[in-house]
Structure 1
Amino acid sequence: MSELKTYAVWDAGTRWFHWINVLCVSALAIIGLLILNADALDLPTSGKLTLKTVHVFVGYVFALNLLWRIIWAFLGNRHARWSAILPGGKGYCQSVRSYITAFKSGHPEHYLGHNPLGRLGVSLLFLLMTIQAMTGLLLAGTDLFYPPLGHWIAQWVAASGVAPDSLKPYSPEMYDSAAYESMRALRKPFVTIHQYNFYALISVVVLHIASVIITELKEGGSIISAMFTGQKIINGRAVDGERDSHN
């Protein structure tokens, strides 16, 4: 019988990112759905503005946390780095086939970090979150005149004699109508991308959660608890190495 071993896997930087991200995505999803259904909920303009303001500030935390994780992928331990996250590299396709075959056979391969399919899923999550953050920051500027682009948007749409820094959302009397319509036309495709990318992101998040639960049940390895403790318990050999282990 194989010996159970405990491995230090997820460092503190990775774990903090993960749980802050969970809170941010959950909050943004709930608030976003309320904004999308504001008319059906018969919310007043002041209510919409409050929701959008909270959405933006949570979005700032989300974007900064994502930026931190991108940087940490160059600085963290070997399981936190891009080389352990992004799919590809020598032998990657073979490792995918081997992992799927072993999983189907009932004798799954153990990985300390992300398994080959997990790397695909996590990379897709990073891509979708980056798109969501970038489009969200642009929309914050075009809708509420918030940073990082709000100052330039305000200069663009302010009516003659109106100080750009004094512009307020939902105040058409303060805008140059032609400039405002041009800005809204520029904004429109980013609204569409932000909305449909949100649906894609939530779908992949649900798939990610389901995959983690299924993998935990099939393989063990304390996958879920490891994101709290940083440690995985493996019964047998890990494909991606057995460094930094202790009994």
Structure 2
Amino acid sequence: MQNTSVRIWDLPTRLFHWVLAICVVALVVSAKMNAMDWHFRLGYATLALLLFRLVWGLMGGYWSRFARLFYTPSQIADHVSGRKDHSTGHSPLGALSVIALLAVLCLQVASGLASDDEISVSGPLTRFVSGEWVSTATWWHASIGQYLIYALVALHVFAIIVYALRGKKLVGPMITGDKLLPPETRSSRDSVATRLYALVLLACALGVAWWVSTLGSF
């Protein structure tokens, strides 16, 4: 049976992906340029994006849900060996990459909120934790955390290149949302109603991020 265009990535997931990528790059640039005001603004924006994704991973389109990110060891082995294709949504290796990157980004944002450079800037959560925790968060944020992100992003880009060389395009579907697949493949909901719902969730996430940003001024 001939393959047909199937909606795999809903619009909220696609926008999250690209806006998060832009924020991560801008965070690195602002840190290297010591533009800390912008670094904090971008950090709060990233916090909002991650909060949105955590909820969207439970309620979003079928292939965007966290339930679709977990594979058994045998499924991972089948995919790596080429015995079976598990790439309708995220492949097993891609799913591991997504989980790792989201986890590290969450930890990086959290550590940034509790960091203090003891010169001019401090995160809004420093007043709520001990000096030892602040020191640990500052160390992690400025060293281990950022290098983990570099490594995971590099691995992500490398995987995209490898898959492209094997004839599997990953960037295109993350732009259009669609893949050519068997017509019986389950598609993701991506209606006006779900997009409006995602917009409400994002507004709530932005509200939480704004509230967190005000904690340091109390």
With structure 1 as the length reference, what TM-score do the two structures score?
0.67
Code of the residue aligned with 2:165 in structure 1: it is: L
Q: Are 2:76 and 1:96 aligned? A: yes
Cα distance, 1:243 vs structure 2: 2.1
1:212 aligns to what?
Answer: 160
CA distance in 1, matches of 2:123, 2:98: 30
1:25 aligns to what?
Answer: 24
Q: 1:140 to 1:230 in 2, by over 3 A?
A: farther
CA distance in 1, matches of 2:180, 2:86: 10
Q: 2:58 aligns with which of 54, 58, 74?
A: 74
- Kept in 1, the 8 Å contact 2:111–2:137? The answer is yes
Task: Tell me which structure has the larger Cα radius of gyration.
Answer: 1
Q: Secondary structure at the match of 2:61?
A: coil
1:244 aligns to what?
Answer: 187
Cα distance, 1:194 vs structure 2: 0.9
Cα distance, 1:186 vs structure 2: 4.5
Aligned pairs, how many? 186
- Kept in 2, the 8 Å contact 1:14–1:80? The answer is yes
CA distance in 1, matches of 2:123, 2:86: 46
Cα distance, 1:62 vs structure 2: 0.8
Q: Identity percentage over the alignment?
A: 26
- Kept in 2, the 8 Å contact 1:10–1:226? The answer is yes
- Kept in 1, the 8 Å contact 2:112–2:123? The answer is no
Code of the residue aligned with 1:114 in structure 2: it is: H
Cα distance, 1:140 vs structure 2: 6.5
- Kept in 2, the 8 Å contact 1:7–1:112? The answer is no
With structure 2 as the length reference, what TM-score do the two structures score?
0.75
- Which 5+ residue runs of structure 2 have no aligned equivalent? 189-218
2:14 aligns to what?
Answer: 15
CA distance in 1, matches of 2:180, 2:162: 17
Q: 1:3 to 1:193 in 2, by over 3 A?
A: same
Counterparts of 1:15-164 in structure 2 under 5 Å?
15-35=14-34, 51-85=35-69, 87-88=70-71, 92-102=72-82, 109=85, 111-139=87-115, 144=121, 147=124, 149=125, 152=127
- Kept in 2, the 8 Å contact 1:11–1:77? The answer is yes
Q: 1:65 to 1:100 in 2, by over 3 A?
A: same
